[in-house]
Amino acid sequence: MRNTTKLMLTAGFAATSGLAGAQVITVNTASDTVDFSGAQQVADLPGPDGVVSLREAALASDNTPGVQTVGFDVPQGEWAFQFIYPGRAVLNPFLLRFFEPVIIDGTTQTAATGDTNPDGAEVVIMSGLITIGDDTTIRGIDSSAISVNGSNNTVELNTGFTSISLFGGSGSTIRNNTITGTIKLDRSNDNTVVGNVCQRVRIQGFVSEFGTGPITGTRVGGPNPEDRNYITGYGTWNSEGLPSGTTVEVFDNQDTVIENNWIGTPDGLTRGNDASSIGVGFYGTNSGVLVKDNLISGILGVGMGPHYAGTLWGRGIYITGTGGDINIMGNTIGLDINGQPTLGSVYGIDVDDYPVTSVHGVTIGDASTGQGNTIAGHRFNGISVNWNVSAVTISGNSIYANDDLGIDLFELDVTPFGVTANDAQDADTGGNNLQNYPVLSSAEASPTQITIAGTLNSTPNATFTVELFASSVCNDSGFGEGERYLGQTTLQTNGSGDASFSVALPGEIEAGWVATATATDSEGNTSEFSACLSVTQGSGNCIADTNGDGMLSPADFSAWVSAFNTMSPACDQNGDGACSPADFSAWVANYNAGC
């Protein structure tokens, strides 16, 4: 076995080893035999036949106090099923269970007979491996179904077509496995899944079905490079040729963190599975879930015959069910590792409705913390919000190069797709309450800043956050997208629902770019993107127009003082990216220079 930690265990049949003071049982036959009464302990091995089977090792370990290590030295002459598992010792014990804490170490077979399986470990437990006790470790097993019950267990360094399942308990770790199967957490809390390669991860609680409540405290991945899981993509085709499969399944979760993983692509350049149709999928009731800093790309199921040949199906992130406080932060969705939008889905993020009560309170990006997502290269929308969903806050993201809209709020209509027209005082209903978008009137760039002005008509006497963006090209619809986040301003509408704004934001905008904006109400409902407005290139001499009224006057000094007191971007008059007393002298110079 390559790239696997190898433990050198005693070659005797059963003995006390110097390895951490633990007793070691060495399995040295592939047969599923028991030639003693069943009450024997480790010291009683072997039985009359002179060899130790895996079943005998399990019985003796369960009968002996302490934690034993089960190692392997199965003679190659007993290796069966070599046409399926070449280079591996295959054991097939029927309905085998370990009931007490144990260390099962398949890497010892490699130490005994050499690296006979260059693709992975040398031990296959064909009928599956089931452990019941706490504080158990399983390592170095290939192409087996591993089921672990209890708490504080470790499953590591397993390979091949292996599936790993945790049932109940808490505090277990699944790490550094390289498998083509699934990692499943089933009603098991406070577990860690790091450093693995697998097809799929399923995180399942059951709020109503079994009355056990949500699964809590799961961590999949983490901030460090060694924490990253490569979850390559899962999916199958039904008899009609329809592709379907969720690569990371979040069902009835609470306080789950999914961080820094590659989801849907094994190498950052290609799709991992041509039937995978959902990257991260939310189902049931979820709350307090954070999906952060992942690469979610290559999720694009391709239909097959007889009825779906050539059709495309895919959602980078799919959110349905109930609950809330779901946070999507800092992810890259649809791009390859070179930053090109080559691995998009049909939808980047799709927030779907649900019968009776839909999910409420989804946050996609956060401008205040710089945790925007990059969402690009999708065949339909970057983000879709279905008609019965509200409080989806979309903030500080980079959304571009999507074939339809950057953000689409669905109406309750036969054809809900496409740009939704603004309505007077925002009385219509639909996705995110069909929040009206701003209307831009001017966008002028200087070498150090851009000043954008516009209006918003929405709910009367209400507060809104307007976010402003620049894009290298306008969407074909004429609305959006938002390739580069520029900044934001806060508005208060009057009794007629009207408000205006003019905001100066630092940064250089290239010639030919366009400006767009979104509006978000106090409940967190974000609009679609506004219509594009071409950015004009000014002389830069009107930087002292800090109130944005298009002229220089003493009122601009008051506006600069206000900007200084609040440390807003308009305070920066010398273009050094900071707000300091030196900007007062710069404002005077800019004012005297005129427009």
Rg over alpha carbons for the chain, rounded to the nearest Å, is: 30
Residues 526 and 553 occupy one common structural domain: no
Q: Is residue 167 part of a domain?
A: no
What's residue 550's pLDDT? 64
- The reply to whether 292 and 361 lie within a common domain is yes
**pLDDT recorded at residue 185:** 98
pLDDT at 497 over 90: yes
pLDDT tens track for 430-481: 999 999 999 999 999 987 789 999 999 999 999 999 999 999 999 999 999 9
**Burial class of residue 312, CB neighbours in 10 A (0-12, 13-18, 19+):** middle
Q: Are residues 293 and 353 in the same domain?
A: yes
> Does residue 162 lie in a domain region?
no
Report whether pLDDT(50) > 80.
Answer: yes
Of 500, 517, 537, which residue is a domain's last? 537
Amino acid making up residue 260: N
pLDDT at position 538: 72
Q: What is the pTM of this model?
A: 0.89
Pairing mode of beta strands 23-27, 68-72: parallel
464 shares a domain with 486: yes
Residues 364 and 462 in one domain: no
Q: Residues 576, 453: one domain?
A: no
What's the structural domain count of the chain?
3
Q: What is residue 569's predicted lDDT score, i.e. its pLDDT?
A: 77
User: Is the same domain home to 295 and 378?
Assistant: yes
Q: Which tens digit of pLDDT belongs to each residue from 277-288? A: 999 999 999 999
Domain containing residue 506: 439-537
Q: How does pLDDT run across 510-544, given as a tens digit for each residue?
A: 889 999 999 999 999 999 999 999 999 875 556 78
Q: Which helix (H) or strand (E) holds 327?
A: strand 322-329
Which pLDDT belongs to residue 83?
97
Q: How confident is the model at residue 588 (pLDDT cuts 50, 70, 90)?
A: confident
Pairing label, strands 449-457, 439-445 = antiparallel
Give the residue among 250, 261, 324, 254 at the shortest CA–CA distance from 292: 261
**Average pLDDT for 487-504:** 96
Q: Is residue 587 part of a domain?
A: yes
Q: Are 305 and 369 in a shared domain?
A: yes
Domain presence at residue 74: no
Is the pLDDT score of 594 beyond 70? Answer: no
Here the CATH number for the domain that contains residue 506 is: 2.60.40
Considering the domain boundaries, does residue 172 fall inside one? Answer: no
Angle between helices 582-593 and 555-566 (to 10 degrees): 150
Structure-block tokens of residue 582: 């030196």
For 565, counting Cβ atoms within 10 Å of its Cβ (0-12 exposed, 13-18 middle, 19+ buried), the class is exposed
Q: In this structure, what token pair is assigned to residue 436?
A: 């009206």
Strands 246-251 and 278-283: parallel
Instruction: Round to whole Å and give the CA distance between 408 and 428.
Output: 15
Q: Give 344's pLDDT tier (boundaries 50, 70, 90).
A: very high
Per-residue pLDDT, averaged over 555-576, amounts to 85
Q: Which DSSP symbol is given to 482?
A: B
**To which H or E segment does residue 586 belong?**
helix 582-593
Shared domain for 251 and 360, answered yes or no, is yes
Residue 419 DSSP symbol: P
H or E segment and range at residue 583: helix 582-593
Q: Looking at the predicted structure, is the pLDDT value of residue 176 above 50? A: yes
Q: Judging by DSSP bridges, how do beta strands 14-16 and 23-27 pair with one another?
A: antiparallel
Q: Is 316 domain-assigned?
A: yes
The pLDDT-based confidence of 395 (bands split at 50, 70, 90) is very high
Pair (391, 460) in one structural domain: no
What's the pLDDT at 422? 97
Residue 147 lies in a domain: no
Whether 313 is in a domain gets the answer yes
In this predicted structure, the answer to whether residue 20 has a pLDDT above a threshold of 60 is no
pLDDT one-digit tens code per residue, 298-335: 999 999 999 999 999 999 999 999 999 999 999 999 99
Residue 496 pLDDT level (bands cut at 50, 70, 90): very high
Same domain, 326 and 201: yes
**Of the residues 413, 447, 468, the one at which a domain ends:** 413
- The more confident residue out of 571 and 131 is 131
Check: CB of residue 316 under 8 Å from CB of residue 345.
yes
Domain stop point among 487, 506, 537: 537
Q: Are residues 199 and 295 in the same domain?
A: yes
